[in-house]
């Protein structure tokens, strides 16, 4: 099996998280990697024009942090030095769901709490520090360069956006599309005479608004991540409040099926007050705002089934949100991109990059990565009657059981740990359906049904049994 030679070159379209991670793993196998980014990129944490979602609350699942740390070993320390919190995620969990708070416990699973611009900046710094990676920012990709028989992509046609320079071709042995949901690869495939991939679209009509507040380090919840999620379909609203660097809170409020948060201050606060638990409202009603209230809408989750294509040009790959864009309320996007990157790394380590079939092999691996977060996100979204799209068979029955699992996490930390593992994409959803787990779920629900309803803030945690 061959590895790359020093004169090989790969172009990665898009320099957000997916593109940066792709460049990092490709640098192990190619002589030179060039990132091409449409927006200007500055040497600082920032939300660029092409990244409207970066100004909102983001979650990096524990499995995502683990993968990032493999490629950037000093990342946890760098985050901490910048004021982010890297801590046991279940010990600092303040999560109200399905009528009560999930029980806290110590699990030893680290999570990172920071703004998306800070995380991306630290990843970008470390990626561009590698000697064989170059960034061309403020540069638009106008199209693909292909062979006359249209069997292979040989580069990209690019144009610098800050002058009147002509379009020129950037030759490459491999082109990777990491441009996100707005990827033009389906259009380019059709223009080349190929079939565009089938798409699965699940419409959810989610909208949310976000604001940054000053965080008081003396607040009992100052180091906690706080979520209030709905008991669907009876409730449609959610709220999240995460501590981030600079002694700040980032707060996102929103809902499904058009029940979106207002962007005026009185309406935003009233929306927070309407949530089924008081934690977010009681914190922000007296906190100092540090930003405007910024809205964002997400109409549908979208998955492109490249793994089902019978023909695909050599020299081209697609990954990240360009393959699958999930409902952002579940925080799976960055972790899914990281998991796809590690699959690409492993595939290239096992393969001869000059031989045909690389794309087909990668798309099969990527599909396996996407399957579980897609199943989890779509399953939760179909709790709401207004959700439309391809509905998994038996999902209503599964959701009734999963609702019992959600409630059981308020009483049984073993169920809670199993749920957190599935949520973090470190265990399959079927792990929640073993006979022993189902018995624990049933017993926990029976105990909860015998107790009066409580809605008090949590103040202590337990240790999950080994």
201-205, 234-238, 349-353, 358-362: lowest mean pLDDT where? 349-353
CATH architecture of 9-58+118-198+305-377: 3-Layer(bba) Sandwich (3.50)
| 458 has pLDDT over 70 | no
Residues 6+ apart with CB under 8 A from 442: 404
Compute φ and ψ for 377, nearest 5 degrees. Answer: -65, -50
**Per-residue CA distances from 92 to 89, 116, 171, 425 (Å):** 5, 20, 49, 19
**Sequence ranges of the domains in the chain:** 9-58+118-198+305-377, 202-298, 395-463
1-10, 37-46, 101-110: lowest mean pLDDT where? 1-10
* C-alpha span between 197 and 187 (Å, rounded): 10
pLDDT computed for residue 60 by the predictor: 86
Alpha helices in 149-278 (DSSP H): 185-191, 265-273
Tokens standing for residue 182: 């707005």
Percent of the chain's residues with pLDDT above 90: 85
Report the C-alpha dihedral over residues 105, 107, 110, 111, rounded to 10 degrees: -40
Neighbours of 349 (CB within 10 A): 12
Question: Taking Cα atoms as reference points, which of 245, 242, 248 lies closest to residue 215?
Answer: 248
**Burial label, 149 (beta-carbon count in 10 A; 0-12, 13-18, 19+):** exposed
pLDDT classification of 454: cutoffs 50, 70, 90: low
* C-alpha span between 316 and 209 (Å, rounded): 37
| 465 has pLDDT over 90 | no
pTM of the full structure:
0.93
pLDDT computed for residue 309 by the predictor: 97
What are 288-304's pLDDT values in tens digits? 999 999 999 999 999 99
Mean pLDDT throughout 255-276? 96
Question: Taking Cα atoms as reference points, which of 383, 402, 419, 392 lies closest to residue 235?
Answer: 383
Neighbours of 36 (CB within 10 A): 25
Question: Taking Cα atoms as reference points, which of 9, 35, 26 lies closest to residue 138?
Answer: 35
* C-alpha span between 3 and 350 (Å, rounded): 9
Neighbours of 433 (CB within 10 A): 14
Mean pLDDT throughout 177-183? 95
Give the neighbor-by-neighbor strand order of the sheet with 174-177: 133-136, 32-36, 9-13, 174-177, 316-318
Under 8 Å between Cβ of 444 and 407 = yes
What are 440-451's pLDDT values in tens digits? 999 999 999 998
Compute φ and ψ for 155, nearest 5 degrees. Answer: 155, -165
What are 83-115's pLDDT values in tens digits? 999 989 999 999 999 999 999 999 988 889 999
Mean pLDDT throughout 302-308? 97
Would you tell me which CATH number, out of the four given (2.170.130, 3.30.310, 3.30.70, 2.40.10), belongs to the domain 202-298?
3.30.70
Q: Compute the residue count for the chain.
A: 466
pLDDT computed for residue 12 by the predictor: 98
| 128 has pLDDT over 50 | yes
Which H/E stretch holds residue 24?
helix 17-26
| 280 has pLDDT over 80 | yes
Compute φ and ψ for 123, nearest 5 degrees. Answer: -65, -40
């Amino acid at each position: 099996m061959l590895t790359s030679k020093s004169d090989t070159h790969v172009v990665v379209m898009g320099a957000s998280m997916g593109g940066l991670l792709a460049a990092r793993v490709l640098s192990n196998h190619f002589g030179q990697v060039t990132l091409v980014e449409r927006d200007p990129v500055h040497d600082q944490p920032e939300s660029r024009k092409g990244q409207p979602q970066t100004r909102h609350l983001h979650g990096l699942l524990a499995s995502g942090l683990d993968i990032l740390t493999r490629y950037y070993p000093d990342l946890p320390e760098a985050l901490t030095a910048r004021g982010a919190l890297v801590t046991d995620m279940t010990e600092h969990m303040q999560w109200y769901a399905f009528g009560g708070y999930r029980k806290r416990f110590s699990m030893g699973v680290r999570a990172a709490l920071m703004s998306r611009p800070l995380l991306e900046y630290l990843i970008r710094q470390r990626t561009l520090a590698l000697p064989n990676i170059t960034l061309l920012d403020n540069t638009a990709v106008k199209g693909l360069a292909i062979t006359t028989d249209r069997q292979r992509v040989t580069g990209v046609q690019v144009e610098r956006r800050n002058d009147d320079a002509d379009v020129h071709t950037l030759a490459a042995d491999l082109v990777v599309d990491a441009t996100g949901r707005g990827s033009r690869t389906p259009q380019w495939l059709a223009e080349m005479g190929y079939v565009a991939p089938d798409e699965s679209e699940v419409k959810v009509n989610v909208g949310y608004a976000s604001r940054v507040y000053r965080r008081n380090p003396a607040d009992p919840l100052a180091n906690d991540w706080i979520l209030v999620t709905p008991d669907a379909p009876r409730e449609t609203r959610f709220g999240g409040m995460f501590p981030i660097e600079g002694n700040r809170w980032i707060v996102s409020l929103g809902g499904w099926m058009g029940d979106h948060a207002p962007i005026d201050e009185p309406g935003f606060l009233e929306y927070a007050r309407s949530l089924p638990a008081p934690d977010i409202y009681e914190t922000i009603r007296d906190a100092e705002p540090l930003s405007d209230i910024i809205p964002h809408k997400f109409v549908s989750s979208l998955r492109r089934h490249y793994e089902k294509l019978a023909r695909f040009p050599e020299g081209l790959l697609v990954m990240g949100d360009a393959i699958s864009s999930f409902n952002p309320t579940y925080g799976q996007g960055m972790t899914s991109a990281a998991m796809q990157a590690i699959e690409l790394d492993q595939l290239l380590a096992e393969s001869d990059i000059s031989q045909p079939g690389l794309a087909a092999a990668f798309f099969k691996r990527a599909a396996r990565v996407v399957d579980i977060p897609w199943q989890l996100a779509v399953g939760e979204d179909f709790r709401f009657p207004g959700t439309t799209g391809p509905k998994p068979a038996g999902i209503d029955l599964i959701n009734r059981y999963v609702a019992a699992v959600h409630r059981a996490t308020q009483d049984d930390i073993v169920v809670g740990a199993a749920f957190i593992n599935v949520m973090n994409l470190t265990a399959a959803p079927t792990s929640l359906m073993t006979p022993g787990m189902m018995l624990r779920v049933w017993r926990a629900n029976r105990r909860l049904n015998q107790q009066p309803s409580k809605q008090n803030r949590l103040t202590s945690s337990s240790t999950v049994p080994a």
